Structure 1
């Protein structure tokens, strides 16, 4: 039995919960973070010294944190060959895109586009338009990589889709000028048809909005 600590509105929690659902793993989840609090208690900090979400424990095993690391653990432990390729040469072709999402796409989109639209501006008056334009080549790059898909590894959903796809609900439902990316659009439509994605990734973010 997996135990997950973290609020459903966290995109990092969403990646983990979507993975758990796709793999059909028994679990319980506890809301922590933001309005729920609980991240600064000694008990939680003893599991996750960063005081962030998610934290996951598999049975009586040691706590795990960092969402992408957790996704990889779940995929390696419970996923089949399609979800977690055993051949390192095949797996790295997926993993480098999963890393790119975490290090390049998500920081740009989250910090410079998503949070400003939620009422937390970053930089001066020209910062947001520049951020939107800077996101376009990244979205085109991902769209080209997806191609005909249907998923990042081809016919089968994989761990890398968990990390990539968890960003896309916000990307496609926020009001800003997106790049023309037909392959990425089709990929998002395929993900949106999956019940586990709808349940765990397509989560309203309105409670994160700051009233102005």
Structure 2
């Protein structure tokens, strides 16, 4: 049985758990990551020197980290959740990378200040800057989803939808005055209709 180390309030941990559920892979999970369990201890650092979650441990004891890499690894080793057609495969990997490199960075301050209410993240100007930059990235996603495909890479659900879907969840869960994003909203609702999507995009945290 696969073991996942990480707290479920982490969007990156939920990426992996959602993929495992979609793939029907049996797993267990241990809470790691602040404030639950500090990963900066030798036991954890031996598995991931970055002290970040998630970490996935296979049945043979081998371990891997970095959430989007884990999505690709699970899809390839379990034979599902990646398109077979070459261009759609490229699109899935493109949007998976975009989520990590472009969409993640802008939301940091706004999420910490508005969603998680963390002390020290209450500067109105920094919150405004964060939401402005985040909205610009969501505009890119909205334009892509408005093309009318049911999923980000085409007709079939893929690991890219897990990453993008959780990002949409975070967008809609963070309380601030947002511009309408009808295509993103419809896409998000479509992903919530999947049992694993509903499980890992709950209304009590983003």
The two structures share one fold, judged by TM-score above 0.5: yes
Partner residue in 2 for 1:175: 175
Deviations 1:14-36 (A, max 9, x none): 11101111111111111111132
Structure 2, unaligned runs of 5 or more: none
SS state at 2:4 partner: strand
Deviation (angstroms), 1:12: 0.4
Q: Is the 8 A contact 2:16 2:71 kept in 1?
A: yes
Q: How does 1:10-25 map to 2 (within 5 A)?
A: 10-25=10-25
SS state at 2:53 partner: coil
- Asked if 1:116 corresponds to 2:96, the answer is no
Q: How does 1:123-142 map to 2 (within 5 A)?
A: 124-142=123-141
Counterpart-to-counterpart distance in 1, 2:130 and 2:35: 28
Partner residue in 2 for 1:39: 39
Deviation (angstroms), 1:100: 1.0
The structure showing larger relative contact order (alpha-carbon pairs under 8 Å, at least 6 residues apart) is 1
Partner residue in 2 for 1:210: none
Q: How does 1:149-160 map to 2 (within 5 A)?
A: 149-160=149-160
TM-score with structure 2 length normalisation? 0.90
Counterpart-to-counterpart distance in 2, 1:153 and 1:42: 40
Partner residue in 2 for 1:97: 95
Aligned residues: 203
SS state at 2:35 partner: helix
CA RMSD of aligned residues (A): 1.9
Deviation (angstroms), 1:141: 0.9
Q: How does 1:6-85 map to 2 (within 5 A)?
A: 6-80=6-80, 83-85=81-83
Deviation (angstroms), 1:149: 2.4
Structure 1 runs of 4+ with >6 Å offset:
none
Counterpart-to-counterpart distance in 2, 1:198 and 1:85: 23
Counterpart-to-counterpart distance in 1, 2:76 and 2:43: 28
Counterpart-to-counterpart distance in 1, 2:90 and 2:130: 29
Deviates more, 1:34-43 or 1:160-169: 34-43
Structure 1, unaligned runs of 5 or more: 207-212
